[in-house]
Amino acid sequence: MRALLADTQVSVERLRRDVDSLRDQQKDAGRGRSPAVSDLNQKISALDLRVKALEGSPRPPEMTPTPPPLGEERPPEPQVPQSEAAQIAMRSESSALQGGAVPGAYKSAMDLYRRGQCDVAVTQLRQFIRDSPTSDYADNAQYWIGECYYGKKDYNRAIIEFNEVILKFPKGDRVPSALLALANSFADSGDKIDARLILQKLIGEYPKSEEATVGRQKLQALTE
């Protein structure tokens, strides 16, 4: 639509130039009393009508982005440092967080996490675990507590929290992410030996997971 408007403006300018040129010819013909004066007058009148018609054309409406339906609003992008483990975990949860099956308390805590309000998020995540210890999202909540501390570079506390995922929820779907995040925490704190041991456990117990794929690369980097 913007292109159409631009073309129209170009056409108007071109016709105006044609009218000016014909008027110059009209003056020359008038001075020479040429019989072509009446023909030039007709051409000028016709071009004037075309210019007025184009200038009077309705302007295309402004293009404004259409907001997504309320049910399809995406959660804000995380404002905290995202490790590979956190990125994998977030991708696996993203569709669920947009749906209506997620407990409201957990969803509220995750909104805080995404906005970088980790201190408040940790409090709400712990409360969610106390209130709903058997929820399918209890292990997720424990995992994100660890990520909050990892994002603040409190690696010792992050190690404790990630280890809680493995101890309390050994059959939960956040264990592979917790293992990868645990290895990251050890490595970033300077403990490469324990980092390698955790990565070997991750690869051995969850060989087909996305976390194991990342873990193999990290293990190779730590052994070089």
pLDDT digits (tens, 9 = 90+) for 98-110: 766 889 999 999 9
Q: What's the pLDDT band for 132 if we cut at 50, 70, 90?
A: very high
pLDDT of residue 193 exceeding 90, the answer is yes
φ/ψ (deg, to 5) at 60:
-60, 145
Going by C-beta distance under 8 Å and a sequence separation of 6 or more, which residues neighbour residue 123? none
Q: Which residue ranges make up each domain of the chain?
A: 2-55, 72-223
- Say what the pLDDT of residue 71 is: 47
Instruction: Please state, in angstroms and as integers, the Cα–Cα distance from residue 46 to each residue in 20, 39, 40, 50, 151, following that order.
Output: 13, 11, 10, 6, 72
The answer, yes or no, to whether residue 39 has pLDDT greater than 70, is no
Q: Which of 139, 150, 70 is nearest to 113 (CA)?
A: 150
Percent of the chain with pLDDT over 90: 56
CATH T-level topology, domain 72-223 = 1.25.40
Nearest to 88, CA basis, from 128, 144, 45, 15:
144
Amino acid making up residue 170: P
| Per-residue confidence (pLDDT) for residue 97, from 0 to 100 | 74
Residue with tokens 């990342």: 214
pLDDT at 180 over 50: yes
- What DSSP character marks residue 65? P
* pLDDT of 38 above 90: no
124 token code pair: 């709400």
Binned at pLDDT 50, 70 and 90, residue 37 comes out as low
Instruction: Specify the higher pLDDT residue, 6 or 31.
Output: 31
Question: Do 77 and 45 touch, CB atoms closer than 8 A?
Answer: no
